[in-house]
Amino acid sequence: MQVPIEVRDLEVCIRSRRSVVHALQGISLEVGEKQVVGFIGPNGAGKTTTVHVLLGFTEATSGSAKLFGEDVRHSIARRRIGYLPELPQTYNFLTGRELLHMAGRLFDMKGAVLKDRAAELLELVSMTYAADRKIATYSRGMMQRIGLAQALVNDPDLVILDEPTGGLDPLGRLDVRNIIATLRERGKTVFFSSHELSEVERVCDQVIILVAGQIVAKGPVAELVPAGESLEQFFIDSVRKMQNREVGV
């Protein structure tokens, strides 16, 4: 079986003239097929660095990272994934529909197949009404929606989302939860980071908590979080324990 995400002893050191920042300190994790996994941590914990290693944007100092059994340093490893960055940036002179058509052509989609796929995704993310407007006119929430549609254009087996509910109102967050649930039902794997811990608790099969470049907890929410306690409180306690350990308290 090909594991969607497999990370072993991953380290990333960022060097400057005066110092070395250990962004990731030997983390190991595994994300299985058809799982929805929340990757959470405070700002600066190393979540985006981890995602960038998986996407081939950042090179690891040591350790290994694989997608479906392929080393992430090889472009073939990314053929089965879709990615939504925290702040989607794209061509503002295109319409939403044109963006999806362009993205589809990058995956050799064309003709009626591409047209139907774009229409399906616009409906999925509730953007049909604005499909033929210039992206320059989109709000932050609309950018998140069209960015999510673009991430799904190739029908990926693994979807990596960085703060997918950023900029969305409560109805928008509900829509994203429903989309994630739909992806799970279709046999997809979803790996996403979020500061909206109530959203994570609602949709995730498992969570991974990263603090200061180290994994401090991972597993199903029901097994990690004590009865009667919220994921948010468990998260806060985990972060504080790690921070106290760092300063020797």
DSSP summary character for residue 201: H
- Give the model confidence (pLDDT) of 55-74 as tens digits: 999 999 999 999 999 999 88
Q: Which amino acid is at 210?
A: L
242, 209 contact by CB (below 8 A): no
Does a structural domain hold residue 198?
A: yes
Asked if residue 136 belongs to a domain, the reply is no
- What lies within 8 Å, CB to CB, of 148 at 6+ separation is 84, 125, 161, 164, 176, 179
pLDDT of residue 241: 87
**Pairing mode of beta strands 70-71, 62-67:** antiparallel
Domain count, the chain: 1
DSSP three-state, residue 41: coil
Compute the CA torsion angle 71, 76, 82, 84 (nearest 10 deg).
60
Q: Is residue 222 included in any domain, yes or no?
A: yes
Provide the CATH number for the domain around residue 27: 3.40.50.300
pLDDT of residue 21: 85
Q: What tokens appear for 235 in the block? A: 């998260």
Is the residue at 129 inside a domain? no
**Better-scored residue on pLDDT, 91 or 103:** 103
b/e sequence 170-204, b meaning 16+ C-beta within 10 Å: eebbebbbebbeebbeeebbbbbbbebbebbbbbb
| Beta carbons within 8 Å of 152's beta carbon, 6+ residues apart | 82, 121, 124, 159, 183
Residue 53's pLDDT is: 95
Q: Which domain holds residue 43?
A: 1-80+188-249
Q: Are 156 and 188 within 8 A, CB to CB? A: yes
Task: Please tell me the pTM assigned to this model.
Answer: 0.91
User: How is residue 74 annotated by DSSP?
Assistant: S
- What confidence category does residue 91 fall into, taking pLDDT thresholds of 50, 70 and 90? confident
Residue 182 is assigned to a structural domain of this protein: no
Banded model confidence at residue 90, pLDDT cuts 50, 70, 90: confident
Looking at the domain assignment, is residue 44 inside a domain?
A: yes
In a domain, 5, yes or no: yes
Q: What is the pLDDT of residues 190-235, one digit of tens each?
A: 999 988 898 888 899 999 999 999 999 999 998 998 888 899 999 9
The percentage of residues in the chain with a pLDDT greater than 90, rounded to a whole number, is 66
Is pLDDT above 90 for 41? yes
Per-residue pLDDT band for 176 (boundaries 50, 70, 90) equals confident
Q: Does residue 192 sit within a domain?
A: yes
3-state SS, one letter per residue, for 208-225: EEEECCEEEEEECHHHHC
